[in-house]
Structure formats: structure tokens, C-alpha cells
Amino acid sequence: MKKELGIIGIGNVGSMLLHKFMELDLVKEENICVANRSFEKLDSLEKKYKALTICKSNEELVQSCDKIMICVEPLNLPRVLKEIKPYLNENKYLMISTSMVAHKDLIKFHNGSITIFMPTLISMVNGGVTIACHNENVKDDEKKFFEELMANFSEVKVMGEEDINLSQNMTASFPGFFAEIMLEFVKSASKKSKNVTDEELEHMLLVSLLGASRLLLEKNMSFEETINRVSTKGGITYEGVKVFEKMLPDVFDAALNASTGRYNVITELASKEAKELL
């Protein structure tokens, strides 16, 4: 009996998606198959979700499902695709949670419906943006399935493959970037603090960030407008903003160059791996 959805890979991404599907009752437990290289993770899932179908191999899962999410590391993806290639046909819809394997390499394994998507950790709290790119073979009902499913816990942004490298810095990578920036801010403030602890500084930053995000979104305020309203010429905020304005462009340029450059390197390595496997 065919299941509604299969998930290959129960790492950080796969497990997050599975838990959201269960938490929000988006796909019935008995209609999901999962497969994973490590059986230890599958054992813990089976204890939590009794009706879940645990597959012994990726090949078994693909034979049981037509809609398949593949949530593995980019450099492991070609190997997984080669394993399941004999069982792929025009009815199989692949949703692949990495954009770092190019579509030109993916179609060497499956010349059918493929959606590339980049989920975000922020979806754990029903937020953030999921970037998606559908190839020309994805049918309307498949697009609807994917987009409506993911829209339950994130905003879905569909774009071309050529825009994903840069855009994922604003979405999937953002929690890591933000955490590092705020951590350095806390470290600097801590040097000048008399009695306020690092934990208290971090909490104040997080509460202020949450409020600032709501202010900008709910009042439809731009970053520039917000700066102008908070930063009065000659005031303390103004002096800090001037330093950021002078120094941050070089920092962000360097960070984006490093991130997008590494993206391209991984894409090339995955392409080489796909070529060798075939």
C-alpha cells in the first residue's frame, strides 16, 4: 500500500520536518515512511511515533512512496540518488532539501519532478522563509502539495535556481549569522559591564530583537526609516550607527563572499561525485 510521504535522512533537517508534520497534524503518522543510514535514530523515532513506517533501506522507501523528501548532506546526495535510481519513474516526485547539487546533475538520476528547497531552523517556531525551486516537470498538484505543506510553518518563496545561493544567506544561514553577530555584541558589552551578566545582556538583546522585528513587520517600516526614527543626530544611537555604517559593509561583503564561494565549491564537488557514480 502506497504511503503519502517518504523522508530519507533523519538528521537536523529531516527530523525537524518530521516533527513539524506530526506536531501540526499535517500528514498522518501512518502515512509516512522514513529511512536513515543510522538505525539508532530510527529506533528512537519508532518509540515516539508508533504508526510510522520504518524502512530498512532507501530503496524500500522509494518503492513505498511517490512523494519523497530527501534530507541528506549535499555530498551524500549523489550516492543516495544512485541507490534509488532504478526505482524512480514519472510518478515519483522528489523534494530535495539542499540547493548545493545543481539541477543539471540531479536530472542525471531522475528526469522527472524535482523541487529543490532550503528549509530554515526558524521553522521550529513556525517562522522563517523556505526557499524553493521547482523544475519544469513538477506538476501543479505537486507544487500545491509542497507549498501548502511547508506554508503551515514557514513562508514559502519560489525562485529560480540562479538566485538561491545568495538568498539562502538571508534565510537558512541567517540563524547562524545572527547568533554570531549577537554573540560578539554581547562579548563587547560584557567588557564594559559592571554588574550585568552575559546571560542578562543576551536576554535583553533577544527581547529587543523580537520587538524590533515585530515593529518593522507590523508597522511596515523599512530599516532606513527605523534608523532615522531611533537615531537622533548627536545622540548615542547616532554615534554607534555611524561606526556600523563605516565598518559593517566590509564585514558583510567578506562573509557573503566566503559563504557563496563555499556554496560553489560544494556544488562542484557534488557534480564531480555524480559524474563518478554514473
DSSP character for 13? H
Whether 114 and 87 have beta carbons less than 8 Å apart is answered as: no
Binding positions are 58
Whole-angstrom CA distances from 162 to 132, 174, 219, 264 are 12, 19, 32, 12
What is the full DSSP assignment across 158-221? Answer: E--GGGHHHHTTTTTSHHHHHHHHHHHHHHHHHHH-SS--HHHHHHHHHHHHHHHHHHHHHTT-
d(CA 172, CA 123): 10
The crossing angle, in degrees rounded to 10, of helices 39-48 and 12-23 is 10
DSSP character for 123? G
Binding positions for NADPH are 58
